[in-house]
Amino acid sequence: MSAPVAPARALPWDTARGALRARGLRWTPQRRLILEVLAGTTGHITGAELVERCRAHDAATIPSTVYRTLDVLEDLGYVRHSHGADGREEYHVLPGAEHAHLRCLGCGSVVEIGRDEALALVGGLGSSRGFTVVLSHVMIGGYCPGCGPEVS
């Protein structure tokens, strides 16, 4: 009864079970499904999207379970969330590298800025204000070259 496990990237998804148990948390079919879906995902995914994909595998998937699992997974560092342009939840799968976000207010596209470039921009806040910047929580809105400043 092993479902066609997605040929996920060689990432610590396999360690998830152990990570959960190590914290006294449990490994359940539900969580396993969510992990599997997540393993086959790259980049961003919204909560609603994840719920839908899970439902594709198991129609009995309940939203609240998904959201709660996502919370746990974030706690463990497997995903990280932020909010999209419309304020909706958006999860970053396997935040391997710290990065900031550049979001085009015109087309909605999101570009990631590497750690170094981002730090060069906002890292200074650490010394000037004693503020410890968390790159994955840096969101810079504006207009990309393609969209250009919008005229209303």
Partner DNA sequence: CTCGCTATTGCAAGTTGTCGCAGGAACGCC
Partner DNA sequence: GGCGTTCCTGCGACAACTTGCAATAGCGAG
- Residues of this chain that interact with DNA (CB under 7 A) are 17, 20-21, 24-31, 46-48, 60-65, 67-69, 72, 86-89
Nearer to DNA, 61 or 136 (CB): 61
Span interacting with a copy of itself, options 12-20, 33-41, 64-72, 124-132, rule CB under 8 A: 124-132
- Sequence length of the chain is 152
Q: Which does 119 bind (CB under 5 to 8 A by kind): a copy of itself, DNA, none?
A: none
- For residue 36, which of 73, 68, 58, 8 has the smallest C-alpha distance? 8
- 14: tokens are 């396999």
Q: How far apart are CA 122 and CA 64, in angstroms?
A: 36
Q: Does 49 bind a copy of itself (CB under 8 A)?
A: no
- 142: tokens are 């504006």
Binding positions for a copy of itself, 55-114, rule CB under 8 A: 75, 83, 87-89, 102-105
Give me the least distance between CB of 111 and DNA, in Å please.
21
Q: Does 138 bind a copy of itself (CB under 8 A)?
A: yes
Nearer to a copy of itself, 29 or 130 (CB): 130
Nearer to DNA, 17 or 57 (CB): 17
Residue 1, judged by CB atoms within 10 A of its CB (0-12, 13-18, 19+), counts as exposed
Q: Does 43 bind a copy of itself (CB under 8 A)?
A: no
Torsion of CA 37, 43, 47, 51, to 10 degrees: -20
User: In degrees rounded to 5, what are phi and psi of residue 113?
Assistant: -110, 130
Contact 123, 133 (CB under 8 A): yes
Residues engaged in binding a copy of itself (CB under 8 A): 75, 83, 87-89, 102-105, 121-122, 124-125, 129-134, 136-145, 148-149, 152
